[in-house]
Structure 1
């Protein structure tokens, strides 16, 4: 910071570079003067994600990517608190964020939906879309339900369990094999009875 001109006993300190903050010092100061500038934090909203299955059981172990429009992507691994919160993070005002699930909890299908969140300049409102379609508070689309309470955005994310396929050689296969063998045995016995009856009839003739 460089000193400016002295006008009527006032010295104006000019900003450095393109910074717009400036200060005015009045009177004569022979000693060193220290100026402290306090910046107010930019408004923000809190994003909460709740991870559940279709039976409302809280899930852990999912991984999400959160990509701000300006900045590096952040990878978040979910936990499962008593309230079901997978994770919570701050979204700075006047920013756009994209969120997607990159890893599903063990035993569950991954949700490929892409969430876009645009936070207003005031930090009190947000616009949310899912796969390019608007998602309003109270609505559910593609496995996500949105709620906004004050400066908190809550997304409830649902994962469907993986389908369980029968294993070759398992109990299902053995049961079918047993039924088939039983039917074959019954057919063989029936054929044997018919042949015996025919032989008996021929002997009587």
Structure 2
């Protein structure tokens, strides 16, 4: 806070106040020093800003940080008070005076003026100020949050609020209040249903309110309020809402899909183009089973998760082997491989326990791994719908639960995948589990670098081979072997059915 003297007093030889005169160096004139106009004050403030050092200011002393009180011991006169470095607070220039209490009684005593006795002291001038904020949120269950999980294809509702239009006086030659918003490219669809509410009332775009420009892909916008609107709506709240769909190009698991809003607004009356910036980011996540742990398109090194394994074996040995435990974004790629992998088994994932609402389908790969992507946290239900040729189908059903934990800033630092076998009596028994924990580091642009530790016990879904039929040559024995094979086949089918029934 700096005080610039505009008007100084003139004194007689006896020390009496005789009048006022403009301070040298201001290079400005006041038509009436006792009643300066806003235009005159703005012009002087502009001159001071454009000519640093030309006008000597006096730095005021912070007397009380809690109340924001500044003081200055100085001589009588008129002063322009300018506030700089105020962060998000907008201050208008103020003019204050240090006055003589009684000019007739003012006199020289012993060659000095008794300032404490004859000048008014202890007066407080309150600078008019206003503050704005910025908060970007995404709705989750009706609540505004900074981080959320979503399925590919879900429509997300975004809110930008905590904004208040500052009080812009005539000392601001140009008032700027502009909001830009950028969805992560390719991860979201077009912005839809954009609405602006001022003090809770929906306000339509127009030449006298606000205008908006969309980016080429319509996944970004720049919204600006007009100067005239800002000057007549000071201290009123602003809320912006819109919708967008999460696309299939979204990053998986710890790969965040960001959405950043930026507010630019005038906070310096002496600089028409000077603005203060505030930013706020939301983080959207979607999950993948049997997918990259931090799946981004430009990341070469990937480590794949392995929550579900399709296997066949007769020796009872563990079917999976884990090759990596920690991922920091720079390690070598790795895949969960099964020593007894079974490729080609078809599975369907459902959103309901009755297994009527299909979500995704998958086929086990050469590593026995099942992959489902684009899922939000919650419950899913899995069953095998077709076994590979030569194998008996597994009739078990599984309940899969995905859980996520978000920090206050919206960044996810932990997620879990639990697989449970659904038993005939309605109970469930744990079949597999996976815990992924990150120590995230948020960069200036809002992106996140993850160092992930994982603990996995894959759920193994077993298929056993069907018995092979014997073959023999010669017409004389063909009918006998065929009949025996038919009987044997019937017995095998029965035994398999019995096994299933016992399970």
TM-score bracket relative to the smaller structure: 0.5 to 0.7
> Which of 163, 166, 170 matches 1:24?
163
More helix per residue: 1
For residue 87 of structure 1, give the secondary structure of its aligned residue in structure 2: coil
The aligned counterpart of 1:3 is none
Paired residues, number? 154
**1:118-197 equivalence runs, <5 A:** 118-120=401-403, 122=405, 123-124=415-416, 126=418, 128-131=420-423, 132-136=426-430, 146-151=431-436, 152=456, 154-166=458-470, 170-171=472-473, 174=477
Checking the alignment, whether the CA contact within 8 Å between 1:45 and 1:119 is kept in structure 2 is no
Shift of 1:118: 2.5
CA gap of 1:39–1:85, structure 2 versus 1, over 3 A, is: farther
> Which of 303, 309, 313 matches 1:50?
309
| Cα deviation code 1:135-166 (max 9, x no counterpart) | 22xxxxxxxxx332423562111101112234
> Which of 269, 279, 284 matches 1:41?
284
The aligned counterpart of 2:387 is 104
Structure 2: give runs of 5+ residues left out of the alignment: 1-128, 145-158, 169-173, 181-260, 262-279, 291-306, 315-338, 406-414, 437-455, 481-503
Tell me the C-alpha RMSD between the 2 structures.
3.9
The aligned counterpart of 2:492 is none
Larger deviation, residues 100-109 vs 152-161: 152-161
Checking the alignment, whether the CA contact within 8 Å between 2:362 and 2:372 is kept in structure 1 is no
For residue 477 of structure 2, give the secondary structure of its aligned residue in structure 1: helix
- TM-score computed with the length of structure 2 as normaliser: 0.26
Instruction: Write the distance in 2 (CA, Å) between the matches of 1:106 and 1:40.
Output: 44
With a CA cutoff of 8 Å and minimum separation of 6, indicate the structure with the bigger relative contact order: 1
